[in-house]
């Protein structure tokens, strides 16, 4: 085989399909090592059977597990997450280089205890409070966090938990516990407001840095005064407003208020 620089080989391998990468593993030691880096760097398990194949491999082959940087389990994989816990635990313990973990399924996160990876991004679906609390405390360098709904009360997000979080995606009920005393700059609110009663948004001001990016249902802004909204979000640079309900359901409410707020911020009002 004609010798080429490793960095050029890397560029080539990043643009070939998985079948070709598998064949490249059979050429020589250099191609095998580089191809395995690409094959195992990002793992996304979608169908149920994906999990039953990948986890035994990561348990038995620690040199492959150490190459994983991103691991994602979709909702299709929830059955396996709640099945062979010992094998699941060992596979994640072997992924010492993991940086991004997304588990979009309803699961008990206790299988992550004892892991030594250092995450920067974490997402999970519905969760049990205590296992989640213990896990988040073990990951002080997390900056991006996405949480679903609790299966039994909210975890105690004390001051030592998530000290470096800058981006949070979750339901509004969790935000008063997550934003204060943390350098949160970006917030995405899951779910929709189902009534026209006012919501106290003052907890957004308790972030140690001003909120710059916000995605939220439009009715969360109603009926707060525009000047109050401007004082809560003085540094907004990106604002995404989702329509919470049909106009028929909330006929008569001031649905244009969020847009008046935008005009106020931009000096158009």
Report the share of the chain in percent with pLDDT over 70.
75
Give me the pLDDT at residue 146, please: 96
The whole-number average pLDDT for the span 222-245 is 83
Give me the pLDDT at residue 126, please: 83
Is residue 77 very low, low, confident or very high in pLDDT (cuts 50, 70, 90)? very low
Residue of 35 and 242 predicted with greater confidence: 242
Exposure string of 106-131, with b = 16+ CB inside 10 Å and e = fewer, is bbebebbeebebebeebbbbebbeeb
* pLDDT tens digits along 190-233: 887 777 678 899 999 999 999 999 999 888 887 778 888 889 99
Tell me how crowded residue 102 is: count the other CB atoms within 10 A of its CB.
17
* pLDDT tens digits along 165-187: 999 999 999 999 999 999 999 99
Residue 262 has pLDDT above 70, yes or no: no
Residue of 98 and 83 predicted with greater confidence: 98
Is residue 156 very low, low, confident or very high in pLDDT (cuts 50, 70, 90)? confident
* pLDDT tens digits along 108-118: 788 898 999 99
Closest CA to 259 of 269, 248, 251, 244: 269
Q: E-assigned strands of the chain?
A: 42-45, 70-73, 100-103, 121-124, 144-147, 167-171, 186-190, 213-217, 238-242
Euclidean distance between CA atoms 95 and 43, whole angstroms: 11
């Amino acid at each position: 085989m004609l010798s080429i620089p490793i960095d050029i080989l890397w560029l080539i391998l990043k643009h070939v399909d998985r079948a070709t990468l598998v064949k490249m593993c059979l050429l020589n030691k250099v191609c095998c090592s580089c191809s395995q880096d690409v094959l195992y760097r990002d793992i996304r398990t979608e169908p149920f059977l994906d999990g039953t194949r990948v986890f035994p491999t990561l348990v038995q082959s620690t040199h492959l597990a150490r190459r994983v940087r991103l691991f994602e389990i979709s909702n299709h994989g929830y059955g396996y997450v709640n099945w062979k816990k010992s094998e699941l635990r060992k596979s994640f313990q072997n992924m010492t280089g993991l940086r991004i973990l997304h588990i979009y399924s309803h699961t008990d996160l206790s299988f992550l205890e004892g892991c030594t990876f250092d995450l920067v991004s974490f997402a999970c679906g519905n969760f049990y409070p205590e296992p989640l609390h213990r896990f988040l405390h073990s990951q002080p360098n997390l900056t991006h966090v996405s949480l679903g709904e609790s299966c039994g009360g909210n975890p105690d997000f004390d001051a030592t938990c998530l000290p470096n979080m800058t981006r949070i995606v979750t339901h509004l009920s969790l935000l008063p516990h997550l934003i204060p005393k943390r350098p949160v700059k970006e917030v995405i609110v899951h779910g929709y407001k189902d009534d026209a009663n006012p919501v106290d948004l003052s907890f957004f001001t308790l972030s140690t840095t001003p909120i710059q990016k916000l995605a939220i249902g439009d009715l969360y802004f109603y009926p707060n005064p525009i000047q109050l909204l401007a004082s809560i979000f003085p540094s907004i640079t990106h604002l995404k407003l989702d329509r919470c309900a049909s106009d028929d359901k909330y006929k008569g409410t001031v649905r244009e208020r969020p847009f008046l707020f935008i005009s106020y911020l931009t000096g158009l009002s």
